[in-house]
Amino acid sequence: MTAHKLAAAGKNLAAFCCCNALIAMLAMVVCFKVCGIEADVWGVLFSVTAACGHFAFIALLLFVLLALVRLCGARAAKVAAVLVGSLLLATLTLDVFVFVYYRMHLNPALLGLFLSPAGRELVPLNTAMWLVLAGVSAAIVALEIACVKLAPRCRRKPLLLFIVFAVVCVPAYNLIFIFAKHYGYAPVLTRAEAIPYLQVLSAGRFLRKLGLAGNEQPTQRQGSGRLKYPLAPLTYDAAPQQPNILVILLDAWRPDAFNEETMPRLYQRARNAVVFDQHYSGGNATRGGVFSFFYGIPATYWHSFLAANREPVLMDAVVRQGYELAIFASSNLTSPEFNRTVFAGVKNLRLSSSGHSSVERDLDAQNGFLDFLAGRQHAAPFFGFLFYDALHSFALPEGGERPFPTDLQAVNYFALTNDTDPGPIANLYKNSAWHLDQQLDQVFVALEQRRLLDNTIVIVSGDHAQEINDSRTNSWGHNINFSKYETQTPLLVFWPGRQPARYTHRTSHLDVAPTLMKQALGCRNPATDFSTGLDLFDPSERPYVIMASYAKTAIMVGDEVFVLDKYGLNQGWNLAYSKRADDLPPKVLKSALMTMRQFYE
């Protein structure tokens, strides 16, 4: 082949691939419309640059593939172009359908669902629909044939300009997204979700170091055009005497730390509480755990609520009902962005606590709450939130007593292997829990001294648990797997008027918000209008519990948990992660997927 023919063949292949990139860009208009198209400059600019840069990269991969086939001859390249192009375009078309319907992109789990009997129940194909599918398939093939025939007619200069523009788009859309995420700019964030498997950069810490504070105190909701939450306007009973509500979350609280030896004061007090022995978080990390606790819906909704600056109905209800708010967290409420989700409706939110260690910050947060109690002068009820971090850090007060013997001062995660003795680390954790138990008791004493326990619902739980290689998979910490060692956490509920009891039915963080909404705040609506959980005290079997990490989703069914990553790869384990499980039943997957889209329009 001469150099001229080689250049012409390369130009034709590039033109064909660029045509497909343009078609893919046009298909994204449907997804952008689902997200809610707003007439804003930055949103439109991001849409164009992200779609162009993303699909141009895919077109580059297509070009490399077809160039290799071209070595076998021009006819083989044309046939391959039509076949591969049709397959890619058909996949994109199906992805658009899936995104419109499920608000997620096509993955192997969804594809398996569509091909299963449950999928045929979900999308019953009648004669008319088969005709539509046949027509769409024929149109896709015809479009690819047209691209092959038109490619030689494309001129070099426009083609070169498009390629240069696509290259420039990559840094452009990443730069736009970096600032949009930092400032919580919904039109860009929602559009980013619409493009399948788009990878974007984030630089929040770097921008904060430059002195750019970001959107730390959102003043209003931003309509994303996607959420329908709650499903109906909420109405409430007129409560003659509203109870105070205090939520205490211990970061990384293990169930085996709640005993008479490790946390004796809290354990003794729990004799007057309702204890849930089979309680699970809605995630294996702080973001999923706290989100599911306050919203009562799966943390798979996180990005949509973050983009919309939408607080949970629980927090909206306490604000509307005149509760005084006392939010004191040891860790920073901007990472994860609880200031723009859970507490988005809280004015003058305290974002962080002072101190050089988690122990010092815990004390600062607790002292802030105790000062709030001491300074209360109003008859209005209060809603309090205390979030402790010491357990997560295995931290102790400097020079603090160590009732559980260990020489460790801190955990060096880089030195841990599957053969590391977990005993000293477990004892360090117990020592931290032992000291934290003393701190928690000070809160209860303060409530007792002010005679508030008779009218205060106190909920004590963890955002998630903490594994100390219990599964023997070299897992130390959390956000690693969805075993019970990372997701099961204690739940104690001190509820005035309720008799102490221990419940053994399975509950989850998803059940807390609907329980408070119905039984404490007098919401008349069915819980399904704003939550996917049940009443904590309802012993009905939960068919499944949805949990989420930063990158994966898990569906817990009975004593098994099935993990889906962002590509839909499905792996099942027992809750101890010691034995592989069979595949997730398609009907359960179908139901879980519908739950994860329940609050989208």
pLDDT in tens, 384-420: 999 999 999 999 998 889 999 998 988 988 888 999 9
Q: Over 80: is that where the pLDDT of 213 sits?
A: no
Residue 27 or 272, more confident: 272
How large is the angle between the packed helices 41-70 and 186-194, nearest 10 degrees? 20
CA 77, distance to chain mean position in Å, is 43
Mean pLDDT of 585-589: 83
Contacts of residue 223, Cβ cutoff 8 Å, sequence gap at least 6:
36, 38, 186, 308
Q: Give pLDDT, residue 550.
A: 85
110: left (phi over 0), alpha (psi -120 to 50) or beta: alpha
Q: Give pLDDT, residue 426.
A: 96
| Pick from 189, 191, 273: nearest CA to 495 | 273
Q: CA-to-CA distance for 464 and 410, rounded, in angstroms? A: 20
Q: Per the structure block, which two tokens stand in for 348?
A: 């003058």
Q: Give pLDDT, residue 105.
A: 80
Q: Over 60: is that where the pLDDT of 118 sits?
A: no
The 3-state secondary structure of 232-253 reads CCCCECCCCCCCEEEEEEECCC
For 10-24, the pLDDT digits (tens) are: 788 888 888 988 888
Phi, then psi, of 334 in degrees rounded to 5? -100, -5
Q: Give pLDDT, residue 115.
A: 64
Q: Over 70: is that where the pLDDT of 379 sits?
A: yes
According to DSSP, the residues that pair with 467 across neighbouring strands are 477
CA 148, distance to chain mean position in Å, is 42
C-beta neighbour count of 422 within 10 angstroms: 15
Torsion of CA 78, 82, 84, 85, to 10 degrees: 120
Q: CA-to-CA distance for 342 and 236, rounded, in angstroms? A: 21
Q: Per the structure block, which two tokens stand in for 128?
A: 């008319």
Residues 477 and 467: beta-carbon distance below 8 Å: yes
Long-range contacts of 264-269 (CB under 8 A, 24+ apart): 264/437, 265/437, 265/438, 265/440, 265/441, 265/444, 266/437, 266/440, 266/441, 266/460, 266/492, 269/441, 269/444, 269/494
Indicate the pLDDT class of residue 520, thresholds 50, 70 and 90: very high
Q: Over 70: is that where the pLDDT of 262 sits?
A: yes
| Pick from 34, 147, 33, 12: nearest CA to 88 | 147
Q: Give pLDDT, residue 573.
A: 92
Q: Give pLDDT, residue 112.
A: 64
Mean pLDDT of 565-586: 80
Residue 600 or 500, more confident: 500
Q: CA-to-CA distance for 535 and 81, rounded, in angstroms? A: 56
Residue 10 or 576, more confident: 576
Pairing relation of β-strands 244-250 and 491-494? unpaired
Phi, then psi, of 263 in degrees rounded to 5? -130, 70
- The helix/strand/coil state of 276 is strand
Q: Which residue has the tokens 């730069």?
A: 175
Indicate the pLDDT class of residue 559, thresholds 50, 70 and 90: very high
Cα dihedral 23, 24, 25, 30 sign: positive
- The helix/strand/coil state of 548 is strand
Residues 19 and 151: beta-carbon distance below 8 Å: yes
Q: Give pLDDT, residue 8.
A: 77
Q: Over 50: is that where the pLDDT of 591 sits?
A: yes
Q: Give pLDDT, residue 113.
A: 60
Query: Mean pLDDT in the chain?
Result: 88
C-beta neighbour count of 109 within 10 angstroms: 21
Residues 59 and 21: beta-carbon distance below 8 Å: yes
Residues 479 and 251: beta-carbon distance below 8 Å: no
Q: Over 50: is that where the pLDDT of 224 sits?
A: no
Mean pLDDT of 345-361: 93
Q: Give pLDDT, residue 3.
A: 65
Q: Give pLDDT, residue 391.
A: 96
> What domains appear along the chain, each with residue ranges and CATH number?
3-209 (no CATH), 244-537 (3.40.720.10)
For 454-499, the pLDDT digits (tens) are: 999 999 999 999 999 999 999 999 999 999 999 999 999 999 999 9
Mean pLDDT of 29-48: 77
Q: Give pLDDT, residue 219.
A: 45
Alpha helices in 394-538 (DSSP H): 423-449, 484-487, 512-519
Task: Name the percent of the chain lying above pLDDT 70.
Answer: 90
Residue 301 or 206, more confident: 301
Indicate the pLDDT class of residue 421, thresholds 50, 70 and 90: very high
Mean pLDDT of 547-576: 85
Between 2-16, 57-71, 411-425, 537-551, the lowest mean confidence (pLDDT) is in 2-16
Q: Per the structure block, which two tokens stand in for 112?
A: 């398996």
Mean pLDDT of 549-576: 84
Which secondary-structure segment (H or E) carries 292? helix 286-295
Mean pLDDT is highest, among 46-50, 57-61, 103-107, 372-376, for 372-376
Q: CA-to-CA distance for 158 and 284, rounded, in angstroms? A: 50
| Pick from 268, 265, 252, 257: nearest CA to 404 | 257
- The helix/strand/coil state of 386 is strand
Radius of gyration of the chain (CA): 27
Cα dihedral 250, 252, 257, 262 sign: negative
Q: Give pLDDT, residue 121.
A: 54
Q: Over 70: is that where the pLDDT of 566 sits?
A: no
For the whole model, what pTM was predicted? 0.79
Long-range contacts of 128-136 (CB under 8 A, 24+ apart): 136/93
Residues 512 and 276: beta-carbon distance below 8 Å: no
For 133-192, the pLDDT digits (tens) are: 888 889 989 988 998 888 888 888 888 888 888 889 999 989 988 888 877 777 787 788
Q: Over 90: is that where the pLDDT of 586 sits?
A: no
Q: CA-to-CA distance for 6 and 8, rounded, in angstroms? A: 5
Q: Which residue has the tokens 């509950």?
A: 507
Q: Give pLDDT, residue 568.
A: 58
Q: Over 90: is that where the pLDDT of 70 sits?
A: no
Q: CA-to-CA distance for 427 and 254, rounded, in angstroms? A: 13
C-beta neighbour count of 474 within 10 angstroms: 12
